[in-house]
Amino acid sequence: MLSSRSARTVANLTIASALTLCLGACGGGGFSLPSLSSNATAPSEPGMAPEIPATIRSDELVGKWGLASYQNPADRARTEKMAVAQCKQPYTIGAGQSGGVVMHLADQATPEELRLKGSQGGKNFIGPAGPAGGEQDREVISFDGRVLITRFVDKDAATRYGNMVYVRCGARA
C-alpha cells in the first residue's frame, strides 16, 4: 500500500511523463524538456557539475557556539580557549527551513539560510546556493563535532576575518 506522499509522487511523475510524451509528439516545438529520471535530484544547467553532498550534516552545526578568530596558525589553541569564553554571548547557528543552516555571510548584518556543499576534492563549504567554493562561501577547514574552523573563500573577507573558530557551548547536540 502506497503512502499518501508516495501516491502523490507517482501521480506527479505519471502526469509529467504523459505531458512529455504529448509535447514530444508535437515535434518541431523549438525547445526540449529535461529528461525525467529517478536519479535526478535537481535540474541542472548544461555544463554544470552535479551537486556533491557535504560530509557534514546541517543538524551537526545547529546550536550555540563560542566564536573567535585567528590569522596565525600558531594561535589556534589560544583562540579556541577565547572562543569558549565567548559562550557567555554565544553565536547561534540555526536550522534553515530548507535543510540548510542560518548564519551570516561576510559583512552582512542579517543571517540567512546557507547550504552545506561538498566538492570534488573532498572539501566542505558553507554558503548560498551555487557551486561549492563560490566567492561568498566559507571553506570548512576542520570539524570534529565540538570545534568548527572555517575560512571565507573571498580573499578580502578571509584577510579581515581570518580563521573563524566556533567552539560548541555546553554538551554536543
- pLDDT of amino acid 140: 98
pLDDT of residue 21: 39
Q: Is the dihedral of CA 76, 135, 95, 87 positive or negative?
A: positive
Give residue 11's pLDDT: 45
Give the pLDDT of residue 44: 45
Q: Which stretches of the chain drop beneath a pLDDT of 50? A: 1-2, 4-7, 10-45, 173
Rounded (5°) CA angle 43-44-45: 130
pTM here? 0.70
Output the pLDDT for position 46: 52
User: Which pLDDT score is estimated for 130?
Assistant: 94
- For the chain, what are the domain ranges? 1-40, 58-168
How much is the pLDDT for 170? 85
DSSP 73: G
What digits encode the pLDDT tens for the residues 20-50?
Answer: 433 344 444 444 444 444 444 444 445 556 7
